[in-house]
């Protein structure tokens, strides 16, 4: 069992809730990725060595990519893909599925929370990530949804939480 005090998980919005949508060249997205990079590096400097990602499109992908970049430099961290169900990427575009599979292949661990999709599998995945980490990093605009649920759950579990706002302009 990996020690929770050295583990960090992440939650954030999908492209549909981001002002730039899928356009990752938008200056706000570029700025957010730089902020995520800084948070990941700070977590590493603070002793976190295991990073858990929910593998959703959008902010989860940005987080996973930044952790993998850091791992290329420092090599003493592990990355875990917390997969809510085996069909997570089935409705995504071909390009999104390739990116997902490429990231999965680079993760040290893959934890499938459950085999088949149901209405609660994303929440179970989010609880798994919080339950197996001491720190939650999040990108959140204050709106209701899975990210807010995960932040609130982490706070109830007395986890440390750092929230990045979504860049507006």
Q: For 60-74, how does the pLDDT look when each residue is reduced to its tens digit (9 = 90+)? A: 999 999 999 999 999
d(CA 106, CA 84): 18
Q: For 3-34, how does the pLDDT look when each residue is reduced to its tens digit (9 = 90+)? A: 445 999 999 999 999 999 999 999 999 999 99
Query: In percent, how much of the chain has pLDDT > 70?
Result: 96
Residues forming a β-bridge with 50: 7, 78
Q: What is the pTM of this model?
A: 0.94
pLDDT value of position 35: 96
pLDDT value of position 152: 97
Strands of 78-83's sheet, edge to edge? 109-112, 78-83, 50-53, 7-11, 135-139, 160-164
- Domain annotation for the chain: domains and CATH numbers: 4-164 (3.40.50.450)
């Amino acid at each position: 069992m990996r020690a929770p005090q050295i583990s960090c998980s992440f939650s954030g919005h999908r492209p549909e809730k981001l002002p730039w949508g899928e356009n990752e060249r938008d200056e706000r997205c570029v700025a957010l990725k730089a902020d995520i990079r800084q948070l990941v590096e700070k977590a590493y400097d603070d002793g976190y060595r295991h990073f858990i990602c929910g593998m959703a499109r959008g902010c989860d992908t940005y987080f996973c990519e930044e952790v993998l970049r850091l791992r290329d430099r420092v090599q003493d961290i592990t990355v875990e893909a917390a997969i809510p169900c085996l069909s997570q990427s089935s409705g995504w575009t071909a390009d999104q599925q390739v990116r997902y599979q490429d990231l999965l292949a680079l993760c040290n661990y893959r934890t499938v929370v459950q085999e088949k999709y149901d209405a609660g599998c994303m929440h179970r995945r989010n609880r798994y990530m919080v339950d197996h980490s001491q720190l939650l990093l999040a990108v959140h605009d204050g709106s209701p949804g899975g990210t807010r649920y995960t932040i609130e759950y982490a706070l109830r579990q007395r986890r440390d939480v750092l929230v990045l706002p979504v860049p507006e302009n």
